Chain A
């Protein structure tokens, strides 16, 4: 029995590792020099604040609510609060320009390491503004319509896909060992504010969707 359990553990760990390392389609991209290249954030310099409808699904369960994302003028940070429709706050995070962040509040029922790590990583990817250039590698697609890919080596690997240089990313992938992969798809409105953001997690049936309500 113990052997079986050990085998099961090894197999499931192996499966998780394989899935977490599921490939990001990078073969068709060729490496570019960093000269004249720069990272374009999801929320650009003109962004001030936005209110989103939120739906988080896990298996057959789902939680809905609203989220506010606001650029704070004082520290040039991003503050984001998720809450239920009735106003009950789920969590409150603040992201700094140097990629660090602070958890101001996490609802007691959600105050678990795995949940905090998943949420802070997901939101950190869309709120990233000034990544360390030393950690970035730029790639240009051989197919012009596929645009630019930026690879960042930090806490695993992050891939930011843009249709063109200078455009905000339309897709972000996160890969790290022994951690479920994350894929994020982003649509923008004509003012280049993200109008729909969908987070999907590897083998875990966990999906988070943000839809723009007002700016």
Chain B
């Protein structure tokens, strides 16, 4: 899937996910101040475009876990390190 351009809210979400590495979508919703419905809608789109992975997680309160794409996170980390 070809990565598509994220909107500002998605960029904010992605930055938070990449900082945390992984989090439950509910926590992301609470931290970013987005409603649960909005959060899930945007996350599903980001997962479809390959920015994040959403998977089942029995340890998560909402039964799901959103994980940053490892390759993308690494390249972001290197860019920050270079600066």
Instruction: Report if A and B associate in a common complex.
Output: no
Measured CB to CB, the residues of B under 8 A from A are none
Measured CB to CB, the residues of A under 8 A from B are none
